[in-house]
Chains A and B, each alone.
Chain A
Amino acid sequence: ILNVEQSPQSLHVQEGDSTNFTCSFPSSNFYALHWYRWETAKSPEALFVMTLNGDEKKKGRISATLNTKEGYSYLYIKGSQPEDSATYLCAFIDNQGGKLIFGQGTELSVKP
């Protein structure tokens, strides 16, 4: 069973703070690592898909890095805004098939 873990489980920050979350995954048989943003009462939306060791992706104030050798990825949010409040999910897929396994998510709350 693939084990994908995220930390912290929840995070409360003030508007303007920068923050980061961690996703750890199996370092063997790596295929891809996904990040999703999930707002309450909506469906998850893809942020990044990362496939190469050392990958860095950026979308606006959000960026992510990937280390496949040690099995972790970081998601960074610079200058958090209230609209960034959501649950951030990472998901791992190995090279044995099409199983996309999710971590339990980090719930971010940004207070004005």
Chain B
Amino acid sequence: NAGVTQTPKFQVLKTGQSMTLQCAQDMNHEYMSWYRQDPGMGLRLIHYSVGAGITDQGEVPNGYNVSRSTTEDFPLRLLLAAPSQTSVYFCASSTTGKGGYTFGSGTRLTVV
């Protein structure tokens, strides 16, 4: 049972490049979310999903896209990377909002 798997663990991008952060869970969780962690800002919600085919915006969605074609996968896309997107990104999943979320190990992204 792998839990929540995020890849890659580290990434350096140039401004204007695009990339996809991968998140997969093997617990059959319906709820999945993406967060970014910045110093002094805590965890801020980027996008979330309550099931396959359903996504919605969180607190800081600009510059990011998501899709949820399967229950297991919830990729986060950066279309035109900007230095302001330098952060640590966490993916998390849960059975429902009344269950504790399981977090992935994070992706540290630097945009230069």
Chain B associates with chain A: yes
Residues in A lying within 8 Å of B, measured CB to CB: 1, 31-32, 34, 36, 43-49, 51, 89, 91, 93, 97-105
B79 at the interface (CB under 8 A from A): no
A92 vs chain B, min Cβ distance (A): 10
Chain B contacts for A103, CB-based, 8 A: 42
Chain A contacts for B45, CB-based, 8 A: 99-102
- Whether A49 lies near B98 (C-beta < 8 A) is yes
Which of these, B42, B44, B56, B102, contacts A105 with CB under 8 Å? Answer: B42
- Whether B98 lies near A98 (C-beta < 8 A) is no
Which of these, B40, B43, B98, B100, contacts A102 with CB under 8 Å? Answer: B43
Fill in one digit per residue for B38-64: 1 if any A CB lies within 8 Å of its CB, else 0: 001111110011100000101100000
A39 vs chain B, min Cβ distance (A): 12
- Whether B48 lies near A99 (C-beta < 8 A) is yes
- Whether A32 lies near B98 (C-beta < 8 A) is yes
- Whether A43 lies near B106 (C-beta < 8 A) is yes
- Whether B42 lies near A104 (C-beta < 8 A) is yes
Chain B contacts for A43, CB-based, 8 A: 90, 103-106
